[in-house]
Amino acid sequence: MSRVFVLNGPNLRRLGVREPDKYGTTSFEDLAALCRDTGRRLDLSVEVRQTDDEAELVRWVHEAADGRIPVVLNPAAFTHYSYSLRDALAQRTAPLIEVHITNPAAREEFRHTSVVAGVATGTIAGFGPMSYVLALQAVAELLAESGNGNA
């Protein structure tokens, strides 16, 4: 079973109560359960983490790179300006899927730029919690294509 990190940036623990008109009513706990359940179906061991701390997120990315662990990442607000996160992600050694619940391109102009997209394998956005399911499916396919798994 391949190990996958699902990493989430600032404010995502507030899902379900934070702007439900934009982000829906699914709680972070429900999203984490969805990711783990999807992982089980795809033979992936999914570890879901969330932080509001940029340095902690960078440390997790380093951990993933060192362990050759694929990452599904919702960088949240860090998407638009965190060059330290982008530089950490550039060191990736496994698939990296950038994911967003909403479609940043359809929102405020400052959200249109992603410093992460250029170092990601791909980006999935705008499908609500299903964005995470699609990202995990992409990781599973990429791992199958490459014949690589991880411990």
The answer to whether 52 is a known ligand-binding residue is no
Distance from C-alpha of 76 to C-alpha of 36, rounded to nearest angstrom: 20
How far apart are alpha carbons 111 and 72 in whole angstroms?
19
23 is catalytic: yes
The verdict on whether residue 38 carries a ligand-binding annotation is: no
State how far the Cα of 69 lies from the Cα of 45, in Å rounded to an integer: 11
87 labelled ligand-binding? yes
Catalytic residue among 23, 62, 83, 112: 23
Q: Is 66 annotated as a binding residue?
A: no
Main-chain phi, psi angles of 41, to 5 degrees: -65, -30
The reply to whether 101 sits in an annotated binding site is yes
Distance CA 99, CA 123 (A): 6
Q: Is 83 a catalytic residue?
A: no
124 is in an annotated binding site: no
Cα atoms in the 13 Å half-sphere on the side-chain side of 51:
15
- Which structure tokens are listed for 28? 């972070």
Coil, strand or helix: which one is 84?
helix
Among 62, 81, 100, 112, the one annotated catalytic: 100
List the binding residues for substrate: 74, 80, 87, 101-102, 111
List the binding residues: 74, 80, 87, 101-102, 111
Catalytic residues: 23, 100
